Amino acid sequence: MSIHCIECGKAMEKWGKTKAGAQRYFCPVCKRTTTPDRDALVRRKSLAELDSWLAGKDNLTEVASRYQMSRQAFWKRFHPLMLAVPEPALPQGIKARVLIVDGTYIHGHILCALIAIDENDHIYWRFAPYESHRVWIDFLSSFSEPEIIIMDGQKGLFSAARMLWPRVAIQRCQFHVIAFAIQYIGRRPQEQVGRDLLDVLYELKNAKTPELRDRWIASYRAWEKKYEHFVSARDARGQFMRPRLRSARLIIRRALPYIFTFLDHPGAPNTTNLVEGWVNGAVAEALRRHRGLRAYEKKALVSAVLSDLHRGGNDEDISLRIKRAREKKNAKRFMGGYRAREVLAKNLKFAFPTEAV
């Protein structure tokens, strides 16, 4: 846990020691030195213990026993610290070429974390009571206009991005488009029209070149033309007979101009999986380990998790890192097979013995 300047809030550097042997710190911005008093040192130690509990796998009883304290005494020390969790400060004018944005709810529908990741895996976040146009405007206004922004299609986020940056390229997450459409047609449609649309949707993930993009759009247009009379059929009262199928078609129509934007921006991903699988996954796992926390306690937990979240290999583009993480995850499911060894040896830079497991 680093010492921060009380004037500007910047991290201070170690700057020798006093005659009494106490550690002296120097602020490179304010050009002032200071020596923390005992209360500051106790608070610093307590914050380090709090981070070890929040960011670790052990429960409160196990962490307290490690410091030779009772669970009640340990919690009594932590509770005031969790009440004063500062909001993460976002500098103005953050420059990013690729911006992946998403929101995740951490306490019912009354507290969510707005998260953004740039092409260098820098994580920016802010807490909000819900996702809305105004909330996203306040969050995105800290960033300079990126080259491309990747999102899941939430209405408030989409309208906020369009208002702030009218000329920015928008990439809709292909996975969310497929998932939203499946919510209406289901994974096992009873009618042939639904099964054919499902086949078209599942082919979307393979359309990663301009040629495959044109082929996919042609197949979707062919589906629309083939079943136009079927989807538009009405009953005796004049109501549409298949409203859920029409809703799925509307989702695809609205998303179609934005699901292949990534092809014009090399290195940009076609999904928000980096946020969903990495950041949101880490937050969800931490919330699962520390079940039963109140809303303000969850803010402290999420702040500790996101502050310590790091990734390696920033020289690779985002799409390659997503592919590597996905293959690693799939390989772990079948660790006994030769296919798993080949995938891991190729992507994780180490080899397995050739004998069968």
Walking along the chain (357 residues) 10 residues at a time, the average pLDDT comes out as: 71 86 86 78 71 74 84 81 70 85 90 90 89 92 92 91 93 93 91 92 91 94 92 88 92 93 92 88 86 84 80 46 51 40 41 36
Q: Are residues 166 and 178 in the same domain?
A: no
The answer to whether position 92 is within a domain reads no
Tell me the DSSP string of 63-113: HHHHTT--HHHHHHHHHHHHHTPPPPPPPTTB--SEEEEEEEEEETTTEEE
Quick check: 200 and 219 in contact, CB under 8 A? yes
Host domain of residue 227: 174-264
Among 83, 109, 140, the domain-final residue is 83
Pairing mode, if any, of strands 13-17 and 32-34?
unpaired
Residues 74 and 129 in one domain: no
168 & 294 share domain? yes
Chain mean position to CA 265? 21
Query: Looking at the domain assignment, is residue 107 inside a domain?
Result: yes
Q: Is residue 352 part of a domain?
A: no
pLDDT of residue 293: 83
Could you tell me if residue 59 is inside a domain?
yes
Same domain, 260 and 275: no
Q: In terms of DSSP H, where are the helices of 203-242?
A: 210-226, 228-231
Q: Are residues 293 and 178 in the same domain?
A: no
Query: Given this model, what pLDDT does residue 325 score?
Result: 52
In angstroms, the CA 178 to CA 155 distance is 17
**What's the pTM?**
0.71
Q: For residues 107 and 157, state if they share a domain.
A: yes
The Cα–Cα gap between 214 and 217 comes to 5
pLDDT at 217: 95
Residues with Cβ within 8 Å of 186's Cβ and at least 6 positions away in sequence, in order, are 194
Distances from the Cα of 62 to the Cαs of 65, 70, 71, 347, in angstroms? 5, 10, 8, 37
Please indicate, yes or no, whether residues 188 and 257 belong to a single structural domain of this protein.
yes
Residue 354 placed within a domain: no
From the number of C-beta atoms within 10 Å of its C-beta (0-12, 13-18, 19+), residue 77 rates as: middle
Whether residue 181 is found in the same domain as residue 234: yes
| Same domain for 74 and 19 | yes
Helices 174-185 and 192-202: crossing angle in degrees, nearest 10, is 170
Q: Are strands 148-151 and 98-107 parallel, antiparallel or unpaired?
A: parallel
| Strand pairing category for 148-151 and 169-172 | parallel
> Is the same domain home to 104 and 236?
no
- Compute the 3-state secondary structure of the chain and give helix, strand, coil in percent, each to the nearest 5: 50, 15, 35
Q: What is the pLDDT of residue 223?
A: 94
Do 251 and 221 lie in one domain? The reply is yes
Longest C-alpha distance within the chain, in Å?
Answer: 94
**Predicted local confidence at residue 25, as pLDDT:** 87
How many domains in the chain? 4
Q: Return the H-helix or E-strand segment holding 341.
A: helix 338-347
